[in-house]
Structures are given as structure tokens and as C-alpha cells.
A and B are shown apart, each in its own frame.
Chain A
Amino acid sequence: MLKILKYSFYDLIRSRWSYVYFLFYLLLGFVLLFLNNDVSKAVITLMNIIIVLVPLIGTIFGVMYYYNSKEFIELLLAQPIKRSSIFLGQYLGVAGSLTLSLVLGLGIPFVLYGLFKSDAIFDFSLLLVTGAFLTLIFTALSFNIALSNENKIKGFGYAVLLWLFMAVIYDGLFLMSLIIFKEYPLDTFSLVATMFNPIDLSRTLILLKLDISALLGYTGAVFKQFFGTDKGLFISIFMLVLWTVIPIWRLSYKAKRQDF
């Protein structure tokens, strides 16, 4: 698997898009930090961008890369390599290079800004960790979609729909259900509903770490009680890990049964 990972990683490192993605974050990091001078505000702005952009890029990159490397995969399938190694290697290559672009792109400006001395280091690392998780999750989901759809247009469509659902529609449904069922106690429901969407989960996790949860009113207090504690953090990270592991497991399960 490491060999496949190496080749797909090199392949991506040489591609222009990895650099565009990296430079975008680099620029964003520099602009936000050095023109803003308020780390906490910069983290919030970054969060808003990361929460939407990282899943989108992960999804689109994942689908595109899978379809583009179909020939490569077919070539490898006839070689003495385990099937799951081929797909996991490719997946980790894409997810790894995207994560690297994100972490380096945002990390460099923060290090230059002197983050290690500031007390925002924890918030910021949490931001990078959730960003990395979102990349892993959405790349894995998109690989699953691409593997299940021979037709590129369909696969691409489903992948974009998935992103749209997770990033926008889910929140809409969530809010609507809150309004419709407002007569009932909804604390547990909202907590659970948040857990089932990795984007919402990441957002809530970061917001509550930033001590602005007072703005969120009563529900905010319930959330703070849950996410603010170590147990809440642990459970949230656990959910993110589940969100990563399940699609990867399905990917290797499906890959073993697919005809090429």
C-alpha cells in the first residue's frame, strides 16, 4: 500500500492544483492575520471558510482524482497487489496531499505571526484538526461515490449533491424541525442531529471553544455543557473518527467486490 500511496502522492504533489490550494490558504492566512490583528476573529473567519470550502474541495478533488486514475487502477489490478491496498493507497494519497496543503498553508502564516507564544494555539490547532478530519471524511465519501458510479457525470453530480446536503440543506432541515417541534424539549435532538453531520459537528466544536457561546442563548448553554467539557470533546472527536473510518471501511469492502 505504501508504494501506491507514494506514487499517487508524488503524482498529486506535482499537479498544479495542490499548489493553487496551498497558496490559497497561505494567502488567506497571511491576509487574515496580518491585516486583522485579532487572532480570535481570524480563527472565526477561517473557520467559516474551512467549514464550507474543505468539504467542497475534498469532494470534488476525490471524485476527479478517482475518475482520472481509473486507468492507473486498472493497470495496478493486474499486478500482484492487494485490492484494498490499491484503493486505500490512492485515497490516502489524495487526502494526505490535501491535508498537507491545508495544514502547511495555514500553519506557516500562523507560525510567522508568533502563534506559539499566543494563547490561541489550542483554538487554532483544533481548527486544523477538524479541517484535516473534514478532508479525510469528504474525500472518503467522494471515493465511495465514484467507485459506485461508472458514469462520471452521475458520480460528479452525486458528490456535489452530497456536499450541498451536508453544508446547506441539512442545516435548513435542522432549523425547520426546530421551528416545527418548538413545543417539545429539543436539547437532546439538536445534540444528536449535530453529531450526524460532520460539518455541523466541526463548526459547533470550534465555536464553543471560542467562548462566544453566550451568544447562542439557552441551547448554547446546553451545547456548552456538552461540548465544552472534556467528555464532549472526546465524544465529538470520536464521532469524527467514526465518520472517517466508516466510509474508508466501505471503500475497501466495495473495492473487493467490484468488477473491472
Chain B
Amino acid sequence: MIQVENLYKKFGKNEVLSGLNLTIDKGGIFAVLGPNGSGKTTLIKSILGMVVPNKGDVSVSGIAIKKNWKYRQEIDYLPQIANFPGNLKVKELIRMIKDIRQRPSDEQTLIELFKLDSFLDKKLSTLSGGTRQKVNIVLAFMFDCPLLILDEPTTGLDPASLIRLKELIKKEKANGKTILITSHIMQFVAEVADEIIYLLEGKIYFKGSIEQLKKKTDQTDLEHAIAAIATTPANA
């Protein structure tokens, strides 16, 4: 599904990714974790083609993404900070994205699920952070793409919406999709993720299931395991 080979990216003097290799070939939920500034978002944006790597290759579904844009038809992306053009109405934004992607979409069930009906005619600049995140989720989930990339999907959500989001993610997984998630909420990761990809200093430090991670670090819960992993030698 996704293949990342020897990826390097520098922002000025700050080397964010240094020779990162990653292969994800089957469906399932993959959590990309790591301390702040470890390159999670840069990795995701490299896969999306928003960040141009200095070196290395990325391919999605066997197609190299360099100088290519059509592969993004197969990706749904939920950005970390929901920035939208403020003068558009929610309805107009959804219509516009549908118009651009020209794919069958299922926004109505999502709008009902997140109770966004009463916000459809409001301008995006007047919405609260949580509501904006819900709109963001609707936009990311309304198409049926084999690859879903969610960057901090839980930001600003109330508990009820969080439960709905988890159900939604599990449903998509049952449909055989590949889902990439970054999050700092370990409880959320523990509940949904099949596999953990831990980034440290621009490289993959650990890749494996939650059980393997706990065993490796001698910890009983994920939060402590993640906190302890950076101090554990890589080949322990």
C-alpha cells in the first residue's frame, strides 16, 4: 500500500526525517507515534505530496508519487489543524470538495452522525473548534478511499463524538482499509490501533503490535511503554 524508502527532509538546518524506511502492505490501523517534532506530520505530508522530500522515494499503491497527483484520488486526509476558508458555508465547502473529487460520497449519514444539520448554513469562521473538527471529519470520511490518513483526529471532540469517531474508524477498518493515525492520546491509540510505528529523530525506532511494544519495554500499559521506549536500546 505505502512504501517509503530512505526518506530525507530538512527544514532549513533542522533535519526532520533522516533516512526513514517504512512499508505498509496490508489493511489495518497504524498509529504513527513519537515525541513532538519527531517528524510525524512531515512523514504524513510527504506521503500526501504536500512536503517535497530532499531525498528518497515514496510510493502509494505501487505508484511513485513524485510529479504525480492522481494517486491522491485514493487517499482521504484529515489535516491536523482544521483551517478552512472562513467565508464559505459548511454546505458550500462540502459541495465544493465533492465537485473537485468527482467521486460518490456519503456525507448525509456522517452529517447526521455528528449532528451537523443545524450548522450547514453557517459560515466556517463562526464555528467552534470542535464543530470545525467534525466538519473536517465529514470531509475526510465521506469518500470511499482505500487509504485514510488522520492527523490528530481527536482534537477538540467531546466524549460522545469521540465514541462515534472510534466506531467510524473501526467500521472503515472492517471494510479492509488502511488507516494511518497520529495521536498523543494513548488511550485512543490503545483502543483502535493494530500496529504502532514509533518515530524518533527522523527514523522509525519501533514498528510492531502493542503487545510487542509492552513486552519490549517491560511495561503493562501503552502510555508508560511509549514513555519508556526512547530509553530502551533499539535491539533489546
Q: Which residues of A contact B (CB under 8 A)?
A: 3, 7, 11, 14-15, 69-72, 74-83, 256-260
Q: Which of B77-85, B187-195, B200-208, B220-228 contacts A (4 or more CB under 8 A)?
A: B77-85
Task: Kindly list chain A residues whose C-beta atoms are within 8 Å of the C-beta of B97.
Answer: 75, 79
Going nearest first, the 4 A-B pairs with the smallest beta carbon separation are A71-B83, A80-B72, A78-B77, A72-B85
Task: Kindly list chain B residues whose C-beta atoms are within 8 Å of the C-beta of A76.
Answer: 100
CB of A186 to closest CB in B, whole Å = 46
Does B55 interact with chain A (Cβ within 8 Å)? no
Asked if B100 contacts A79 (CB within 8 A), the reply is yes
CB of A105 to closest CB in B, whole Å = 23
**A70: nearest chain-B partner, CB-CB:** B83
Asked if B87 contacts A11 (CB within 8 A), the reply is yes
Asked if B83 contacts A80 (CB within 8 A), the reply is no
What total of chain B residues lie within 8 Å of the partner, measured CB to CB? 26
Task: Kindly list chain A residues whose C-beta atoms are within 8 Å of the C-beta of B77.
Answer: 78
The binding surface of chain A is classed by DSSP as helix
Asked if A82 contacts B69 (CB within 8 A), the reply is yes
With known contacts A72-B85, A81-B69, A7–B96 Cβ distance under 8 A: yes
CB of A23 to closest CB in B, whole Å = 21
Task: Kindly list chain A residues whose C-beta atoms are within 8 Å of the C-beta of B85.
Answer: 11, 69, 71-72, 75
Task: Kindly list chain A residues whose C-beta atoms are within 8 Å of the C-beta of B72.
Answer: 78-81
Q: Which of B22-30, B46-54, B111-119 contacts A (4 or more CB under 8 A)?
A: B46-54
Asked if B84 contacts A260 (CB within 8 A), the reply is no
Asked if B69 contacts A83 (CB within 8 A), the reply is yes
Does B101 interact with chain A (Cβ within 8 Å)? yes
Instruction: Give the residue among B51, B84, B85 with the most A Cβ atoms within 10 A.
Output: B85
Asked if B101 contacts A79 (CB within 8 A), the reply is yes
